[in-house]
Homo-oligomer: A and B are copies of this chain.
Amino acid sequence: MALHFTQVTIIGVGLIGGSLGMILRRKGLAASVIGVGRRVENLKTAVELGAIDRFVGDPKDGVKNADLVVLATPVDTYDRHLTEWASCLKKGAIVTDVGSVKGPLVEQAERAMPEGVHFVGAHPIAGKEKTGVAAGSDQLFTGARCVITPTSRTDPQALEQVRTMWQETGSVVLTMDAHLHDKILGAVSHLPHVAAFALINALAEIRDQQIPSLDLAGHSGGGLRDTTRIAASSPEMWRDIFLWNRDNVITFIEAYERSLSQLKELIRVGDATGIEKELERAKQEREKFSVRPAPSA
């Protein structure tokens, strides 16, 4: 289908929102892209980088003429945003989001839509440890996956518009149940982030308590650098992801704790065969990864 919006409003012109704005403008998918955000400096940068045409201070003004509103702020702010301006949306408008958690947030957003306005949840799985529009790029989504999470209430035409938009960004678009999305991302993304954050903090404590001469940056090899790269991600964003996907994250941390404890006990009792079996199992699972090209995040 041909995609063309008269006005797209992006709430939160950061890495994701800003990169999407660049693509919408450069590919002529929207006649006008309006930015709404907290920090005027960032919005000025967004205009300079061509991520938005202009920005407005009042989100109610920003959304009232929009065909499409992209909610690209931290997930914990959705409720506040939707309460503030959902009633100003025009009939037929579409609201979509880019949040890393979907189940409870899609339900919340659907409840907040006025009659005749359609919500479609989406999660472009493209990010990096950098944040802000200055780190944005019209190539950010190329080859990355974007998960769209329709429900029984989702308007089919709105769904197609959001799907087509993400295809236009170069993403590989998947459709998935919102709660299954949260389980899968909880496992392959949220748990590894917990592991990386906790690992760096453990090493800092080992240094402070046990090895004063340990220079984590100086002594780190590529293994540690890779293993902990994502620990430099946004604390605000990940705090919200962990809380909004709390039940899955807790369940998966507990599975990780069991796995760690099992390996620790094998090492403690000196069970060479048992250790090797565990490591061999991990190696075989990990080696399956390399048959596919690595997406960007």
- Partner-B contacts on A (CB < 8 A): 76, 125, 128, 145, 180, 183-184, 187-189, 191-207, 209-211, 213-214, 216-236, 238-239, 242-243, 246, 249-264, 267-268, 270, 272, 275-276, 278-283, 285-292, 294-297
Contact = CB atoms under 8 A, between A and B. Distances in A.
Identify the interface centre among A199, A250, A262: most chain B CB within 10 Å of its CB: A199
Identify the interface centre among A229, A239, A294: most chain B CB within 10 Å of its CB: A239
Contact of A180 (B201, B213, B250, B264): B213
Contacts of A297: 221-223
Given A187-B214, A285-B216, A202 B276 contact: no
8 contacts: A184-B219, A201-B259, A201-B281, A209-B255, A217-B291, A227-B229, A235-B280, A242-B267
A257 B259 contact: no
A201 B274 CA distance: 14
Contacts of A184: 211, 213-214, 219
A224 B260 contact: no
Given A187-B219, A198-B259, A233-B283, 7 more contacts: A183-B210, A196-B227, A197-B279, A197-B282, A198-B262, A204-B285, A217-B292
A192 B228 contact: yes
B187 A259 contact: no
A219 B41 CA distance: 36
A254 B296 CA distance: 33
A232 B267 contact: no
Nearest to A261: B257
A192 B227 contact: yes
A71 B196 CA distance: 34
